[in-house]
Amino acid sequence: MGIFSKSIRIAKYVRNYADTVKRSPAYIRVYKNIANKLEQFERESKQTLKNDNFGYKDFCAFIDFLNRQGLKQNTVRSLADKLKFILSLMIRDMYKVNSTAFQVRIKSEFVTSVYLSVDEVKQLYYYKHYDKAQRIVVDLFAVGCFTGMRYSDYSTLNSNNIQCGFIVKKTKKTGVVVKIPIHPIVREILERYDGFPKYKGSKQNFNKVLKTAVRRNGFNQEILCEFTQGGKIVRQVKRKYEMIASHTARRSFATNAYLAGIPIARIMMLTGHQSETSFFKYIKIQNTENAEELAHHAFFAIA
């Protein structure tokens, strides 16, 4: 068999990849999900998708199939990007791939998301009527709000991450080593637990408990959310507490540090962001906040 003469169903290749890759269970689930959707599409379209017959038109048809399933545009874009990654791996493994598949483009859509101001984080943290489980979740979330780490990092901190008065951690997602000053509230948490809080539940349960805590603190402002789902624009009004999750901590840190006037380059060194483009996706100031802040700028004081 010569170079580029091999043939394999793409779904089978994806499953083989998911079964052998040394990554987290969540990562593996994503690719098994892609394999499932490819197989569903094959059954619906009554065709077999192989490395050499999956071109631009087939990819577009697959995108239409995902939209009919009611997926959000950013979810479809993420699945498409991962499928392109799979096709690139197939090329590496000497499979012939129809290059037109890489011409498919799906725009990233702005998604309405929220952050907690420093005062809101403090309100959440200093509330005194939590049970033990809620206290641990709120304290851990506060650590995230004052370190800017992802949940996978701030939920796994231990005493070894305290070095010379700083929090030092090699981030799980990107492998970047970050070094972060210890905020007074984080120091208070360290003293309370004689280290970092230990949370043993699932991320899903963490978010459920967190939403309950945020709701108890009255964070129920109405927020208009607009997004594309199933190829159609959807508008929903949600309460702020419904939109708070573990990742809100990282978003809150980036936004609060930015509003405090810390130079962007320095914030990125703390969060581990590699580009300003990805960093600015975390900055969630509203038009009113922006206008009020700029009202004190010298430019608007000139007669």
Amino acid identity for residue 272 in this structure: G
Mean pLDDT of 164-184: 92
The span from the first CA to the last CA of the chain, in angstroms, equals 78
Please say whether the beta carbons of 284 and 114 come within 8 A.
yes
- Alpha-carbon Rg for the chain, nearest whole angstrom, is 23
Q: What is the pLDDT of residue 279?
A: 74
* Percent of the chain residues past pLDDT 90, beyond the cut: 70
Cα 125 from chain centroid? 23
Does the pLDDT value for residue 284 go beyond 70?
no
Q: Domain ranges for the chain, please list them.
A: 10-103, 118-296
Please say whether the beta carbons of 21 and 35 come within 8 A.
no
What span, in angstroms and rounded, lies between the C-alpha atoms of 265 and 115?
A: 21
**Architecture of the domain delimited by 118-296:** Orthogonal Bundle (1.10)
What span, in angstroms and rounded, lies between the C-alpha atoms of 213 and 79?
A: 33
Q: What is the pLDDT of residue 39?
A: 97
H or E segment and range at residue 169: strand 166-170
pLDDT in tens, 35-93: 999 999 999 999 999 999 999 999 999 999 999 999 999 999 999 999 999 999 999 99
Q: What is the pLDDT of residue 273?
A: 82
Q: What is the pLDDT of residue 117?
A: 92
Beta-ladder partners of 180? 167
Mean pLDDT of 108-128: 91
Higher pLDDT, 284 or 214: 214
Quote the mean pLDDT of the chain: 90
Listed in sequence order, the residues at least 6 apart from 278 whose beta carbon sits closer than 8 Å to its beta carbon are none
* Tokens standing for residue 89: 């791996």
pTM of the model: 0.77
